[in-house]
Amino acid sequence: MPRSPAPLVVLALAAPLALASRPARDPEARRDDARRAEAVVEGLVGRDEPGLALLVRRGGRTVLARGRGLRDLRSRAAIDARTGFRLASVTKAFTATAVMLLVRDGRISYDTPLSEAFPSFPAYGRGITIRHLLTHTSGLPDYEELMAAAEKAGAPPWTKERQIRDEEVLGLLRGAKAGRFAPGASWAYSNSGYVLLGLVVARVSGRPFGEFLESSVFRPLGMDRTLAYEAGRNEVPARAYGHEREGGALRERDQSATSATLGDGGVYSSLEDLAKWDEALRTSVLLSPGAAKPAFEPVTLADGTLPRWPAGAAGGDNLAPGERVAYGFGWFLDPWRGRRRTWHHGETSGFRAAIERFPDEDLTVVVLANRGDLDTKKIALDVADALLPVPHEKGHP
């Protein structure tokens, strides 16, 4: 699944005054929201095992920001609103924002060809643009499949101790002979594309990707516990370590061979900081409504049709084979039970993450877990369901 699979949030972003004019929920209503949300996660994790953190925001206020369980089984420190979790593919919204800031400042455009950023990129990449990378319509090969092919051909294997880096991903893509499809002709979730976007940000800005995020996104928003993690270069404050269930027990499995790539899934953050991120999206702090608009417009293919998830078996990065998919820049835009929605979720070794935003209801739910056996997307939607009863519409039970 993604580490990390009409516009949604853009109307909310374009009209912060309208949001502000909505009647504020009284304290008792907020307490009731918190109780309903807490009831959803009650009993999901034990007090003495790795767990989860839940954020609920409504009407621009944090209703609930609470952890359950432990950051790790060594220190046995409790998870709280300041615990740092790996976001996996929820990172992609930050990567897209970095690109949009460079576009706003005139340093790059969405139509800039990949060959301009990487002049030695092979012929199959001709026609790929920054927009294709942002919307998963580039047709780039999957870098994990290229890793497997390289290892089969005799290359030294990548491991959690010898992790693949962004420049190595670029090298594998340069060595490929063909893409999955012509740019813009189809849609396939692409971690390769977002790794390249991280490298594009670094090359255009002249600064490492993590430094650009720090100076241009995290610091302006006061997200002082959020970072693009690079082992040996920085440390995650109050870090949660990932766990997987093996043989009936949860064991620390915090890193994998792909844990060092950045643009596709390398950011760590906390509930406290993600509340600031949500408010920035809600009130257009970093980007004006006009500059942010493309992020929340579903991509269409070159022939004008709406994209679908690739055909084939479900699994991995193909969540709904053959079904329609709506994706902007770093956000899925598919509605849920008739409600407009922006969302993303992520999965990597030992971690699961989900963010669900409902702009018309001014509701955001974030669930972060440092264990791989929790379905954070389902939990987040269950919380939303508890707070937003399903409309009595045809087709909805």
Q: What percent of the chain has pLDDT over 90?
A: 88
| Alpha helices (H) along the chain | 10-14, 16-21, 27-41, 92-104, 114-117, 130-135, 143-152, 166-175, 191-205, 209-213, 271-283, 289-292, 376-387
Dump strand ranges (E) for the chain.
52-58, 61-68, 85-86, 227-228, 243-246, 249-252, 267-269, 342-348, 351-358, 363-369
The beta-carbon contacts of 210-218 under 8 Å, at least 24 apart in sequence, are: 210/234, 210/262, 210/266, 212/98, 213/94, 213/98, 213/267, 216/98, 216/101, 217/94, 217/97, 217/98, 217/101, 217/286, 218/273
Q: What is the pLDDT of residue 16?
A: 38
Axis-axis angle for helices 166-175, 143-152 (nearest 10) = 70
Cβ within 8 Å of residue 127, ≥6 positions away: 113, 182, 183, 184
The percentage of residues in the chain with a pLDDT greater than 70, rounded to a whole number, is 92
Domain boundaries, the chain: 10-387
pLDDT of 19-38, one tens digit each? 444 556 788 889 999 999 99
Residue 175 CB neighbours (<10 A): 12
pLDDT value, residue 397? 36
Give the tens place of pLDDT for each residue, 120-163: 999 999 999 999 999 999 999 999 999 999 999 999 999 999 99
Q: What is the pTM of this model?
A: 0.92
Predicted confidence at residue 20, as pLDDT, reads 41
- Span 10-387 CATH architecture: 3-Layer(aba) Sandwich (3.40)
pLDDT in tens, 220-240: 999 999 999 999 999 999 999
